[in-house]
Each structure stands twice: as structure tokens, then as C-alpha cells.
Structure 1
Amino acid sequence: MSNDLTLREGLELYRSKVSILKKGYAQESYRLASLLRSELAGRRMRDIQSPDIAKYRDDRLAQVSQRTGKTISPATVRLEMSLLSHVFDVARIEWGACETNPVTNVRKPKAPPGRDRRLLPREERRILRYCHAHPTEELFSLVVLALETAMRQGELLKLEWEHINLQRRVAHLPETKNGSKRDVPLSLKARDALTRLGVKTKGRVFCYTSNGLKSAWRIMLQRLAILDLHFHDLRHEATTRLFELNTMDVMEIASITGHKSLAMLKRYTHLQAARLVKKLEGNRGRGQQVVLDHLIPYPAIADASTDGITIRVLDFDGLSVTAPSEAEALQRAQDELLRKLMVSIRDKVTVPPPDQYLDTVDESRIFMLDPLASRAISFGQPHTFL
């Protein structure tokens, strides 16, 4: 191997001998392409020093992405630098193209905090309604499975019928991102999402490609006016819900989600803390707590007409009251909401959490109606009653 190997030649060699053998080859190809466009590409690998890498880092952080119109994220630059470091290690050890790795001593951009975007209940209902009416019925099943199983997008798209046991309700993943196989339990909703597609004996479950799903997801969010929600956020939401079940420990959840490092599950520790609080309380006041957990404020709107003031509680179909005055309408609405919640608890009917309504309303008109409020404040004041 020549000692005069340029970085461009090293990157191409790395692509053909190392990168192509990786499962993430497609994603890594984009990073290699970015490195090939850099000013460093034409220089000999043995001549590149740490200050050159630092300049590359700073230049990249200042660049604007043509696709998003935003500056390149620190996470992207960190990944590019990690790849570049491995290229230099391979070149040094296997090709003899350089004596040192200049990336080693260069600071990487600070890692951004992990995304904590949660899927709002109303967003979930709107998304499921949209997907259910979508001409491609696979979209609905994909979203349901993502929320029920915490599988990655790539794992869902590679799912094959021969690896699904509907009787035992288990989906086997022979190949995952971290290189290990795993079995994923299927809830009843997940099983139904699969059976509605028409069960087969073999072959891929979904015909969607990665780019096809990205396009369908992007169009849906635009039409529903939902901001900053990635398909991968459904995996985070599903994992969060597994913790909120309070029935499994971290190791059991990791076996379902496929998180190889428990450090990746640190973002969910606050949910464990809430679980420990309940354990500290034991059985004391459990019945009271169950009731109080349901008696919470719900979004409502008020309209004036010739008949008086009408208040409508958005999450309950048909729950509206009309009274001659504002104060009387508020009092009646509180009473009706309290009665609705208590009857639901008595009859063991599922009570919807707040903010799941699908009506299109002016957000500025919404106020929170508290069924336990000791006094009512004019709904002209923003957002809440105390």
C-alpha cells in the first residue's frame, strides 16, 4: 500500500473493503460522501494533523444543510468524526498509510440531549384516523406495531411472515441493528394489526421501502399540521409506555426493545421514580388515589348565543350545558363533568385522558374546566380554573 495514499483514496478503499460489510452501509455512505467533498480529501493521509481535523469540525458546524436550511447538527459532525477516526485507524494499522490518527485528540461537538418528544393523545388519534383511511392499509398497521412493540423502523420493514407466531403472539427478529436476534411479544392490538393485512406463510409483511415510509410520514404530518414528530419517536413512546405499565423491570423491557446498553434507557429513569413512589405508599389510600387520578381538569370552550352561555367539554361527546349567565354555566359544566367522571369510575368505563378531542377549534379559546374547583373564575382568563 502506498505511503502517499490520499484521504480520498483512503475513503474509497474503506468504502469498498470495510463499510460495505456493515449493516448501516447505506447511512454510512452519506457520511463518506460528505468527507469526500471536504478540502481534506485531496491531501495525503500522513500529512493531515489534528488542527486540520479541528478546522474541518468547525467548518462543518458552520455549514447550512441544503435539505433542511439549518446548520449542520453537532450529532452529524460527531458521527462524521467517528467515521473519519476509524478510517485513519484502519489506514494506520492495516494499510501503513499513516503513523498516527489525527482525530483522536480533537474534541468532538457536545452530544445533544436525547429527544424526549412524546406523542400527544390527540395526535395519536388523528394519526390513527388518517392512517386507517389511507389507501395503503399497511400504514395503519405499521404505526400500531411501532407503538405496541417498540420495534425500530428497519425491523418493522424487514419483518417476515415466517418469523411471526400469531398463536404464541411472538415476532422473531433474526437480524437487528445491534447484531443480536430477539423475540418481541405481540399485544392483542399488534396481532390484530398484522391479521388485518391478510396472514401469509412467508415473505415480507410490508411492501414499504424506507424512503417510501419517510415520504408517507412527511405528507401525513404536513396534512395534519403536526410538528417535530419523527417515526422513530413512536419507538420512544412505546418504550415509555412499557415503563408506565409498572409490571416489568429494566432488563425485561430491554429484552423487548433491544436496547443493548442499559445506559440508553436512562432517559426513562424518571418513570421508575414514579413507580417507586407508589411502592413507598403501599396500599394506603389506594382507592382514594384511583378516584383523584380521574378527577382532573379537561379542556372546554364557551360560546355565547341568544339562549345564554354554552360550555362544551371537548373530550366527551355530548357533554355540554347552557345557562343564562357565565357563572351558572361554569357551575353546571363542573357538575356535569364531575358526574360524568364518577359514573364512569362506578361503571368501570374507561375515562379518556384530557386533550384527545379531534375537533378543530381555536386554541386560544380553550380553558381547563376543573370538576373539583372550589370557585369558578371567568373563562375570559387564560387556560385554567382554580
Structure 2
Amino acid sequence: MSKTPKPFQYRDKWRIQVTLKNGQRPFKDFVKHTDAVQWALNQITNANSEHEAQLGGPTQATLAQALMHYAQQYSVHKRGVDSEINRINHYLKGAGLHTLKAFTNEKGGCELRQQAPKAQPKGWKEHVEGCLEARKATYLAMDRLANKRCSAISTANIRALFTQMTTDGLSASTIQKEIALLKAMFNSAAREAWKGFDNPCTGVKLGKSERRFVYLTQAQQQAIELALAQCDNPYFWHLVIVAKETTMRLDTVMKMSWSLIDLENRIAMLPSKSGQRKYVLPLPVVEVLRIIPRHPSGKVFPMSKNAVQMAWKRVRARAGVPLLVDVNYLGRSATTILAGGSGE
């Protein structure tokens, strides 16, 4: 891979010369050092490829535009598409672009659609606004990066984001995922579209995050069960039981459909990364499914993900165990639940 050459002073200007794969060595003089660097990078990106650089190359594309392209080409194929799209949406909002949302299409595949801002339920809106205010400086740093040309983003800019996230108290795991997203996007661009582009995330070293566990006492488990019984939504506590007994993730449980469940043989067909997968249902789950009211939509749990998360937040508060993470991980163990990271 070609490296971007460095400008040198020549007759009171900055001269830069690039060597292209076709053997040509064009050069040009500039008044500004930064203009010389951008010109060289653009020459390498465009001339070393048989095709026009995507998004006009790193000297034209902003970080937000590059992340939107990455989401449509790469994130959409990942198992954790929802969480990655949520992170990307922070930058899209900062650049004034429509956010993205993942949907399951008619063929069972995943596709992304742009969505304009819409009114949110009061409880969820207050939760989001609280998170934004607590990490205001972090989101401002993301906004600034979102509007920068990719060629103008340096390792120092990425390091500044890392430092701000640490200062705002975000967990090591959350910071790792954020920087890893940017690093993966830049790597794919340099590998496939922007030849000669240097990844600004390469110099940022991340420490290892520690996984913390909360061991629930019998009293705490009883408190959770009591809090679940106080939920107004008749589907939620059934959902928690199914998640706990099957060890499925929340996304998988919420995709359960009556048309793909055979209670007599205790079998459920659910979507997976490689297609539909057969699950054998434990007896406690079968007993719960027999008493759940059938919804006209055909879904076993006709709730939005936001509604589930808000209900789980209220359960944690009532039970006095606010450190438990979201309901995604409830099923991993009957007595041990991962802690920390909720709401990040």
C-alpha cells in the first residue's frame, strides 16, 4: 500500500510529489501544508484505483458519511447490528443526517432504512435526555468528529474522544466498542476503497475491560420476582421467564412467533445468523407459553425493545438492584447476572 509522502519547502511554498502505481510521479506546490497533504492523498486514492473513490475519497467524505456507508455495507450483516447502528446514529445526528434503523425484510434478511426524527414516549425521552446531559461533552466531541473530513481526522482527535469518554465515566467496554467501530470502518475503507489512507485509530491503545458479576441473594431474587409481578404489561414478566429459562438474548426472544412454535413437541424455530434454528423449549417455558394471551400480530411478545428496556429499568429500581444490566443477559444464569454498563 502506498504511503502519503511528506511535503517539503520549495521556493517559499510546500511542494509534494507522489508515486503512483502506474509509474507516474506528479507534483504540485501549495501555500498551505495541509492543502499539500490532502492533494497527495487524493491523488493516491483516485489514481491507484480503477474506480472512482467512494464518497469522493477521504478528502471529501465526512466521518458521518463514511459511517453511513459502512453501516449499509457491513453493519447490516452483523449479528449485533442494532447496537452498532445505535453507535453510528450518534454521528449521523451530529451531522444533521437521518438516523438508521434495522428491519427484517420479507425474505427474513436484514435491511437498513433511514428514519426522520419522531416523537418518543415521555418516559423513554426523559431517560435519553438524562443520558445525553450526563455525557454532554462526549456527544459534543462525537459531533465535531462527525463533521470532519476523514483525511483531517488524526490520531490525536481519536485520543481526545477516548479521553473525554473516560472523563465522563463511560465503561472501558463501551469505550472499546466505540473506538473499535471507528477503527473497523477506517480499515475497510483503506483496504477496499481509499488506497493509501492511514487509519487514525491505529495509535490508540485500549486496555482490557473487566467483566463484573453480581451474585444475587435469595432475598434479591424474591424482590425481582415481586417487582415483576407488579408490572402492568401482561407480556413482560412472561418474557423475562422465557429469557431466563432459555438463556436466549432479548432480540431472539422478541422474534418468537406463534406460527413457528410447536408446544406439543416443545420446539421453536427462530432466526439466527445462518438462517432459522431449532430450539428445544424447557418445560417451564412451555407452561408459560400455554397461558400467554395470543396477540393478533402473531408475535409471542408484542412489545417494542424500548418498552422492554423501560419496564426492566423499573423492575430493577423496585427490586433494589440497579446495577443489573439489561434483560439481554438475564438468562445466562439463574443466580449470577452481569453488572454494569446499563444505559450506556
TM-score (norm 1): 0.53
Match of 1:219 in 2: 314
Does the 8 Å contact 1:46/1:97 carry over to 2?
Answer: no
Equivalent of 2:184 in 48, 63, 86:
86
**Helix, strand or coil for the counterpart of 2:211?**
coil
TM-superposed CA distance for 1:199, in Å, is 6.0
Distance 1:40 1:129, change over 3 A: closer
Amino acid paired to 2:324: L
Equivalent of 2:87 in 28, 31, 41:
31
**Helix, strand or coil for the counterpart of 2:213?**
coil
Distance 1:29 1:203, change over 3 A: same
What is the percent sequence identity of the aligned residues? 26
TM-superposed CA distance for 1:100, in Å, is 2.2
Match of 1:188 in 2: 283
Amino acid paired to 1:237: S
After superposition, the CA RMSD in angstroms is 3.0
Q: 2:145 matched to 1:40? A: yes
TM-superposed CA distance for 1:107, in Å, is 0.6
Does the 8 Å contact 1:149/1:186 carry over to 2?
Answer: yes
CA distance in 2, matches of 1:43, 1:234: 40
**Helix, strand or coil for the counterpart of 1:195?**
helix
Q: 2:231 matched to 1:134? A: yes
Distance 1:186 1:217, change over 3 A: same
CA distance in 2, matches of 1:9, 1:135: 42
CA distance in 1, matches of 2:230, 2:64: 49
CA distance in 2, matches of 1:238, 1:159: 22
CA distance in 2, matches of 1:86, 1:192: 44
CA distance in 2, matches of 1:239, 1:121: 9
**Helix, strand or coil for the counterpart of 1:228?**
coil
Work out the number of aligned pairs and report it: 231
Alpha-carbon displacement from aligned partner over 1:34-68 (angstroms, at most 9, x marks no partner): 44534333433234333432233223222x3xxxx
Asked which structure has the greater CA Rg, the reply is 1
**Helix, strand or coil for the counterpart of 1:83?**
helix
Alpha-carbon displacement from aligned partner over 1:96-145 (angstroms, at most 9, x marks no partner): 2752222234212x232223223432233333344345332212211211
**Helix, strand or coil for the counterpart of 2:215?**
coil
CA distance in 2, matches of 1:200, 1:57: 45
Match of 1:257 in 2: none
Q: 2:312 matched to 1:232? A: no
Match of 2:116 in 1: none
Distance 1:57 1:130, change over 3 A: closer
Does the 8 Å contact 2:216/2:336 carry over to 1?
Answer: no
Does the 8 Å contact 1:161/1:205 carry over to 2?
Answer: yes
Distance 1:124 1:180, change over 3 A: farther
TM-superposed CA distance for 1:193, in Å, is 0.9
Question: Unaligned stretches of 5+ in structure 1?
Answer: 65-70, 242-386
Match of 1:164 in 2: 261
Report which stretch shifted further, 17-26 or 87-96: 17-26
Equivalent of 1:19 in 75, 86, 91:
75
CA distance in 2, matches of 1:8, 1:200: 40
Does the 8 Å contact 2:231/2:311 carry over to 1?
Answer: no
CA distance in 2, matches of 1:237, 1:95: 44
Amino acid paired to 1:56: L
Match of 1:99 in 2: 197
Pairing 1:1-386 to 2, within 5 Å after superposition: 1=53, 2-3=56-57, 4-5=59-60, 6-20=62-76, 22=78, 24-35=80-91, 36=94, 37-62=142-167, 64=168, 71-96=169-194, 99-108=197-206, 110-175=207-272, 179=274, 181-198=276-293, 203-230=298-325, 231-238=327-334
**Helix, strand or coil for the counterpart of 1:172?**
strand
CA distance in 1, matches of 2:243, 2:252: 10
Question: Unaligned stretches of 5+ in structure 2?
Answer: 1-52, 95-141, 338-344
CA distance in 1, matches of 2:195, 2:148: 12
TM-score (norm 2): 0.58
Distance 1:104 1:229, change over 3 A: same
Does the 8 Å contact 1:117/1:233 carry over to 2?
Answer: no
TM-superposed CA distance for 1:23, in Å, is 5.0
Amino acid paired to 1:229: L
Match of 1:379 in 2: none
Distance 1:95 1:216, change over 3 A: same
Does the 8 Å contact 2:267/2:278 carry over to 1?
Answer: yes
CA distance in 1, matches of 2:219, 2:236: 18
TM-superposed CA distance for 1:200, in Å, is 8.0
Distance 1:162 1:53, change over 3 A: same
Distance 1:115 1:173, change over 3 A: farther
CA distance in 2, matches of 1:125, 1:201: 33
